[in-house]
Amino acid sequence: MVSGLGIPFQIFDREKIEGQLLHSSRGLELAKRYFPKSIEAWSNENPTPARLFKEHLNLACANCGTNLLEKPGKGVVSLWQKMRESPQQKDAFEQIHFTCFGHCDDVIGKRLRADKLIDGWEDIRDISIPTVYIRWVMSVLNELRSGVTYSDQAFENLKELLLQLFPYVARHPTAAESDRLRELGTIPSWMGGLGYSD
């Protein structure tokens, strides 16, 4: 209340103004108009998926059904292939699954290892980084060209992964993702990183 007049008032500090502007579509429009550089920097560090599909984005855990896109950093994609019996034999991916880290991944892994399949995996959060995503796409294309095969189920799940993640990568990388790219660049590619080996 304004001293003695009985008029209610609010004090808008920096946090309150930001909260009002950044959490509504009209507020974002206003911020873009009057603070274009600030909102561009904020938008780059707080990306949202591009609205490309009518359907709600969902990459369900193969074990518990949790939408892994709503749990950043908690999901993994596992690629299961037959063991090669000779060096001349091409890789053959039999299963591709999306799971929560930990228990769900262990449940699926135990079942598939019993079928004598071996796995490789990647953090779904890492594949959501634009540079890593496009390297994944190029890797799959190169593998297909070289004769690597995918079972129908594995290929369908691979397509689902690429489709579901695309709205997340159709943007500039954040500063944290750029830092992560530098980290991945120090890890050799044969260990899942982006480093080049001679």
Q: Please check the confidence at residue 12 and state whether its pLDDT lies above 80.
A: no
Instruction: Tell me the C-alpha distance between 76 and 32, whole Å.
Output: 36
Same domain (yes/no): 85, 147 = yes
Confidence of residue 30 (pLDDT cuts 50, 70, 90): confident
Same domain (yes/no): 112, 178 = yes
Q: Indicate whether 51 belongs to any domain.
A: no
Range of the domain at 117: 68-189
Tens-digit pLDDT profile for residues 113-172? 888 899 999 999 999 998 899 999 999 999 999 999 999 999 999 999 999 999 888 876
**Residue 99: what pLDDT?**
96
Q: From 64, 60, 28, 26, select the one nearest 43 (Cα to Cα).
A: 28
C-beta separation of 98 from 59 below 8 A: yes
Q: Indicate whether 115 belongs to any domain.
A: yes
Same domain (yes/no): 111, 159 = yes
Q: Indicate whether 74 belongs to any domain.
A: yes
The mean per-residue pLDDT over the stretch 61-71 comes to 94
Same domain (yes/no): 154, 94 = yes
Q: How many domains does the chain have?
A: 2
Long-range contacts of 68-71 (CB under 8 A, 24+ apart): 68/98, 68/99, 68/100, 68/124, 69/124, 69/164, 69/168, 71/100
Helices (H) and strands (E) in the chain, counts: 8, 4
Average pLDDT over the chain reads 86
When mean pLDDT is compared across 6-10, 34-38, 175-179, the lowest value belongs to 6-10
Q: Is the pTM value of this prediction over 0.85?
A: no
Tens-digit pLDDT profile for residues 36-63? 888 888 877 887 887 777 788 899 999 9
Q: Indicate whether 58 belongs to any domain.
A: no
Instruction: Tell me the C-alpha distance between 157 and 153, whole Å.
Output: 6
Q: Indicate whether 129 belongs to any domain.
A: yes
Same domain (yes/no): 41, 74 = no
Looking at per-residue confidence, does 150 or 174 come out higher?
150
Q: Indicate whether 156 belongs to any domain.
A: yes
Q: Indicate whether 75 belongs to any domain.
A: yes
**Residue 4: what pLDDT?**
66
Q: Please check the confidence at residue 198 and state whether its pLDDT lies above 50.
A: no
When mean pLDDT is compared across 76-80, 156-160, 171-175, the lowest value belongs to 171-175
Same domain (yes/no): 91, 163 = yes
**Residue 3: what pLDDT?**
62
